[in-house]
Chains A and B, each alone.
Chain A
Amino acid sequence: MARFITRRLAQALVVLFGVSIVVFVLVRITGDPTALLVSADARPEDIERYRTSLGLDRPWHEQYLHFVGHALRGDFGNSFRHREPAIALVLERIPNTLMLTGAAMLLAYSLPILAGLLSAMRPNTALDALIRGIAICAQAAPSFWLGLVLMMIFSVRLDWLPPTGSSTLRGIILPAITLSAFFMATNVRLLRSSMLEVLSRDYVRTARAKGLSESLAIRRHAFKNAAIPLVTMAGIQFASMIGGAIVTETVFAYPGMGLLAIQSIQSRDYPVIQAFVLVSAITIVVVNLLIDLAYVWLDPRIGLEG
């Protein structure tokens, strides 16, 4: 186990190092940011001077060494747009994004359990079909559009909820639904199929044969087993939500990491993009590490190869 952990940690470091190179090179190939950081009529000489002041005239390898050297100490440089530390801009938004993704996770793991169980216990009935139909449609709706439609219905027409998300309870409901719609739908389908799978297994049949009532059989054996994939999914879905938050946060003008990321990309704010990508990469890597560990712990039959 210790060896396994050590190896996974080493791999994680390699991955983060790789991410740093990829993002560093990628943002620079997208083009020079200087013209976007000055007024629309700036003179080339102004732009050139500003570029020099940002250090963008230096060779890439020099810039990279500078970047890595400082990043290791937690310094990602100053945002080109705001001229303040990039990492601070990213970190101060983490609570907002965590709240949004947290609320979305809560939704993605509460409703679907009920719906998925209902669906699995009465397979191929009208109820099952309805639940699956809704799930598939929720999976299909482009999230930006879903968000705007929800806003129109619940904020403008019904006036129940504020149209944009702030990190208040009421403000977070619509963005959280928008962000979690896809995952709710996925989880309904996931739970349904794994329940069906488990229910068809021998030991559940045996339990039934022994005379355990249907609901008891489900509760004792099936649900526990069927929930395993759902539990292990949690980390992966959480990581994907952080990426998916880019769209949701833009639509709801929600002050999180995703909104910062999209604006930074559009204005080629290299330091902030780099800080954002590395922070999300660390999150994703750590979460994956935890899942791997949790999985091994939950199900020791799984070998430690990887």
Chain B
Amino acid sequence: MTTKRIRRIPFLSFVLIAVLALGVVAQSWVGSSVEAHLQDAETPDQITIALASELNTLDPAFFTSSNEQSIYYAVFDTLVTRDADLNIIPGLAESWETIDDNTWEFRLRDGVTFHDGSPMTAEDVKFSIDRIIGDFMENPSQSKLATIQEVQVVDPLTVRIITTSPDPILLSRLAGIVGWIVPKAHIESTGFEDFATNPVGTGPYKFVSWVKDEELVLEANPDYWNGAPSIGRVVFRPVPEASTRLALLKSGDVDVIQDVPTDQAPALEGDENLEIIATPLLRSMYFILRSDQEGPLADVRVRQAINYAVDKEGIVNELLNGYGIVSQGQTMGPEYFGFADDLEPYPYDPDKARELLAEAGFADGFSIEMLTPAGRYQADVTIAEAVAGQLSEIGINVEIESVDFSVYVTRKLDRTIDPITLGAWSQAVYDADGVVYLLFHTDEPWGVHYSNPRVDELVEEARSTLDQEQRLELYREALEIIREDAPVLFMHQQTLLSGVKTGTPVLTMPDETFIVYPKW
């Protein structure tokens, strides 16, 4: 790794790959030649980013993917946002306070205008949240703000948010995802349908045009409340094929490409005009080991044996060229609040695995099916093949079933996945609630088919406790139990690779969004 010309992003920080204009202070530089970099950096007039897939909608209420979040971040603002270290900082709200456990009051920034020139007021904030939580539009995101009972307009620059029960992660929910503030008057006159293709926000970039499958163009908002962006235009182009994206980057047609396969990294590293930004993601990969079914996996020793039998280090270091971080016996990384940094990964120990299998009465192994989506997650099928290969070493004969993502999602939702199923999960609330509760609580719709009364108790309590220290302890205990119970094969935290023309001022965040104008 040391010889490669890349800068890896350490815990809770980002790499700035160029001087960000506007005098934004660089947060942390890892690696060498910072000065050289500073000198190289020239602010281009336009940045073109090749995304791996086309967006569905530009209306945040209907958001479906992290790519859309990149657009929202540029076009809209949230009440609160995050800095480079992922701390919550003021956004459209200058300040906030809790009146009581269920009441939050936000003081809005004065003088902020939407791109259509209208001022942003408390009415817009109320409208933006009401349209998510209310029933007056059939939006699919209601539950993302389900803890909000009501939004009250106190005066044009003050809003109160009333929650149904104490919500320790309310600010996280508002800092992105569906918390974007949209113009009430504009939407009421043009309608939601139009808004999905002609968004108007308060953000650093204005929406210009979107020709689907061709390009989406944003233009700097000179009146941005935090200072005008120096890069005049940002263009997003959807390019589904990874090799085509690489060709575009190499030929100079685009400045940034999303989602470089780890095996393409050497092709980028060999080109002095290009570099790689590697960002550890919120998404961790694991294999669900269904403990809710009759069969070998019902035995905890078998599940542990599987965890011992797989060489996670080998997979990350060899197969993924070092891009990835072996999970520490939990399905999340340190970006999440609640991460337990003292838990250890299951070591690679095939002998121990065989021993455990024998104890469980499967000395001769067994046959089992494994489900994986094809081409959805980084190296998904390759990793499935690698794991299957390793399990065969301890006598477990795995039959892989690789399916299109649409089939995979349907089967997950129908709860008809195979006994072993590749899973990958991320939650942009940056909080263990989104991972530990949603994956390991009994009967969660996207959960890993695991049930443990003690874990249920712990994560339920953590969900409505405002004392963050206490929450940490609750999650700590739950994570320890889960690690021991091994309802999943813990794999790794993914690292997203983006290829950029050297010096292009763009950042990628752990939730995979691209940031051209950082708001911190």
Contact = CB atoms under 8 A, between A and B. Distances in A.
Interface residues of A, number: 51
A148 B434 CA distance: 40
Given A84-B193, A163-B251, A267-B406, A50 B244 contact: no
Interface string B406-423: 110110010000000000
A221 interface: no
Contacts of A266: 404-406
Interface string A31-44: 11111111111111
23 contacts: A31-B410, A36-B406, A37-B56, A38-B141, A39-B140, A39-B144, A41-B425, A43-B143, A46-B142, A49-B140, A50-B139, A81-B56, A82-B197, A84-B193, A152-B247, A155-B247, A156-B251, A163-B244, A163-B253, A164-B244, A253-B238, A263-B53, A267-B406
Contacts of B141: 38-39, 42, 46
Contact of B244 (A30, A45, A151): A151
Given A35-B409, A50-B139, A164-B253, 18 more contacts: A30-B406, A38-B64, A39-B140, A42-B141, A42-B143, A45-B142, A46-B141, A49-B138, A78-B193, A83-B193, A93-B213, A159-B251, A163-B244, A163-B248, A164-B244, A253-B238, A253-B240, A268-B406
Interface string B243-257: 110011011010000
B237 interface: yes
A260 interface: yes
Contacts of A144: 241
B256 to A, nearest CB: 15
Given A38-B141, A162-B251, A266-B405, A47 B214 contact: no
A69 to B, nearest CB: 21
Interface string A77-103: 010011110000100010000000000
Nearest to A262: B240
Contacts of A139: none
Contact of A151 (B140, B213, B243): B243
A50 B140 contact: yes
Nearest to B241: A251
A53 interface: yes
B143 A253 contact: no
B211 interface: yes
A52 interface: yes
Contacts of B142: 43, 45-46, 49
Contacts of A260: 212-213
Contacts of B54: 263
Interface of B: 53-54, 56-57, 62-65, 138-144, 193, 196-197, 211-214, 237-241, 243-244, 247-248, 250-251, 253, 404-407, 409-410, 413, 425, 427, 434, 438, 445-446
A44 B244 CA distance: 37
B251 A148 contact: no
Contacts of A166: 214
Nearest to A79: B56
A44 B445 contact: yes
A89 B251 contact: no
A46 to B, nearest CB: 5
B215 to A, nearest CB: 9
Nearest to B195: A83
A255 interface: yes
B239 A81 contact: no
A16 B57 CA distance: 31
B243 A38 contact: no
A253 B213 contact: yes
A82 B251 CA distance: 31
Nearest to B58: A82
B438 A35 contact: no
Given A37-B140, A267-B406, A83 B241 contact: no
B377 to A, nearest CB: 11
A44 B237 CA distance: 32
Contact of B427 (A41, A53, A89): A41
Interface string A256-283: 0001100100111000000000000000
Contacts of A30: 406
A252 interface: yes
A250 interface: yes
Interface in A158-186: 159, 162-164, 166
A82 B57 contact: yes
Nearest to A250: B240
B140 A82 contact: no
B214 A255 contact: yes
Given A159-B251, A253-B237, A148 B243 contact: yes
A123 to B, nearest CB: 40
Contacts of B65: 39
A250 B63 CA distance: 24
Interface in A20-65: 30-47, 49-50, 52-53
A266 B422 CA distance: 19
A83 B434 CA distance: 29
Contacts of B425: 41
A82 B420 CA distance: 34
A151 B213 CA distance: 19
B175 to A, nearest CB: 16
Scoring A53, A83, A250, A252 by chain B CB atoms within 10 A of each residue's CB, the highest score goes to: A83
B214 A32 contact: no
A78 B192 CA distance: 13
Question: Shortest 9 CB-CB distances between A and B: which pairs?
Answer: A53-B138, A255-B213, A163-B247, A43-B143, A50-B140, A38-B140, A253-B239, A255-B214, A81-B56
A252 B196 contact: no
Contacts of B64: 37-39
Contacts of B138: 49-50, 52-53
